[in-house]
Amino acid sequence: MLSDRVKNVQPSQTTELTNRVARLREQGEKVIRFNVGEPDFKTPEHICQAAVWAMEQGFTKYTPVMGILELREAICEKLERDNHVRYSPGEIIIGAGAKQCLSAALLAICNPGDEVIIPYPCWVSYTELVKLADGVPVMVPCREDFSLDIPAIESVVTDKTRAILLNTPNNPTGAVYSESSLREIARLAMKHDFYIISDEVYEKFIYDEGEHISIASFSKEVKERTILINSLSKTYAMTGWRIGYTAAPAEIIRGMNTLQSQIVSSIQSLSQKAAVAALTESQKPVEEMVREFRKRKDYMEERLRGMKGVSCKSSKGAFYLLPDVGACLGKKDGETVIENDYMMAEYLLKEAKIAVVPGSAFLAPGHLRFAYTNSMDEIKAGMDAMEMALGRLV
């Protein structure tokens, strides 16, 4: 018999879809994957070589729970260089990807019944990670243009509010929160004394002018209220290496360290050496990848906007589009009415052989989430097939 904790948590819908599509492909189906939230690029060669070298040197044992000092120092340098916020290695802990960092951070700060504000549409895992930590997700809709609705956020703050979970650039909307809205969030966090959990895993994927803003950089007081989470997964095409990190006040890091010492002992040793190379050596592969993503985004936005019944806001960051397909719902495939985004995603999988995630998984019903983590050829073929499939609905 499973615990209530497990029963109360939904499995990740994106992971489930990924597994299902993988099975279809194994059976020989040619499905184009717009569902996968990971770069289709290879991990750059020099990063792989650092792991090979570490393995040859026998660097294959447990490491400190917090992660190797060399990596935590490289992260401090990176945070100062890129994000203009100064941390010491005692304020950094390495985790098995940003997901595990988020989980450990929530476990470290939440008491049963504590509330965590989550603006939505949001990444599928946030609500479940909060519930796993015995917290209560408090969902607040973003504005029509996917920006933060500050008055709506302030209106749900109570004396139980423990944190807000922010993700900019955003999965699934592609929104990049403005400096003024981040300053407002910082003001609320100080006024009402709650933490800002800032998930910055897509920080390098920005397509407008300007760079990513880390909320912790605003002031010493804001930094003390911020739990900054980042990862190498997306930036360096290293999803399988499972390296993320948290930068936060030392007390929180010590709490997370206690949890991790009992749960994982330490993070993969070779991946940590590879991460040092990623952060300290050439950043050219990242720039090239972002340039390519921008081309794909521009192309896909134009194609989606050209489809009848589809409207698509411009994505400013990350590598996702969240087009609204509401005007296509209610149409028929033969006798079957396509009533909602789940049915639309099924229809497109069957008829266009493209895999997309129903927006409802991110609390955006009537939408579909596309990741442009495919070659241009695949994107073109996928868009053609989708346009034709939508055109067959009556």
Select the residue interacting with ligand PLP from 123, 236, 245, 372 (CB under 6 A): 123
Map tokens 């994505």 to a residue.
Answer: 315
Options 96-104, 266-274, 283-291, 343-351: segment touching ligand PLP (CB under 6 A): 96-104
Toward ligand PLP, which CB reaches closer, 123 or 177?
Answer: 123
For the CB of residue 184, give the shortest distance to ligand PLP in the complex, in Å. Answer: 21
What residues does 199 pair with on adjacent strands? 167, 229
Angle (CA) 328-331-334 rounded to 5° is 135
For ligand PLP, which is the closer residue by CB, 106 or 338? 106
167 interacts with ligand PLP by CB under 6 A: yes
Residue 201 contacts ligand PLP per CB under 6 A: yes
Is the CB of 199 or the CB of 378 nearer to ligand PLP? 199
d(CA 194, CA 55): 43
Task: Kindly indicate which of the ranges 97-105, 157-165, 286-294, 347-355 contains the residues binding ligand PLP, using the contact rule CB under 6 A.
Answer: 97-105
Q: How far is the CB of 126 from ligand PLP (least distance, A)?
A: 8
- Give yes or no for residue 239 binding ligand PLP (CB under 6 A): yes
Nearer to ligand PLP, 238 or 325 (CB): 238
CB of 352: closest distance to ligand PLP in angstroms?
24
Among 43, 127, 233, 272, binds ligand PLP (CB under 6 A): 233
Paired tokens of 201:
């895993």
173 part of the interface to ligand PLP, by CB under 6 A: no
Q: Which residues pair with 139 in a beta bridge?
A: 118
Angle at alpha carbon of residue 297, lines to 296 and 302, rounded to 5°: 100
203 binds ligand PLP (CB under 6 A): no
The only residue of 37, 135, 323, 382 in contact with ligand PLP, by rule CB under 6 A: 37
Task: Identify residues 6-35 at the interface with ligand PLP (CB under 6 A).
Answer: none
Q: How far is the CB of 167 from ligand PLP (least distance, A)?
A: 5
Please state the φ and ψ torsions of residue 355, each to the nearest 5 degrees: -105, 120
Using the rule CB under 6 A, which residue among 171, 173, 257, 272 binds ligand PLP? 171
Q: Which is nearer to ligand PLP, 286 or 328 (CB)?
A: 286
249-308: contacts with ligand PLP (CB under 6 A): none
Stretch near ligand PLP under the rule CB under 6 A, chosen from 56-64, 231-239, 279-287, 374-382: 231-239
Q: How far is the CB of 122 from ligand PLP (least distance, A)?
A: 8
Least distance between ligand PLP and beta carbon 387 (Å): 27
Residue 265 dihedral angles phi and psi, to the nearest 5° = 65, -65
Cα–Cα distance, 363 to 386 (Å, whole number):
23
- Of the candidates 222, 209, 221, the residue with the CA atom closest to the CA atom of residue 178: 209
Told to check if 103 binds ligand PLP by CB under 6 A, we report: no
Give the interface size with ligand PLP as a residue count (CB under 6 A).
Answer: 13
> Rounded distance, CA 67 to CA 82, Å?
21
Residue nearest ligand PLP (C-beta atom): 97
Report if residue 39 touches ligand PLP, rule: CB under 6 A. no
Nearer to ligand PLP, 42 or 350 (CB): 42
Binding positions for ligand PLP, rule: CB under 6 A: 37, 97-99, 123, 167, 171, 199, 201, 231, 233, 239, 244
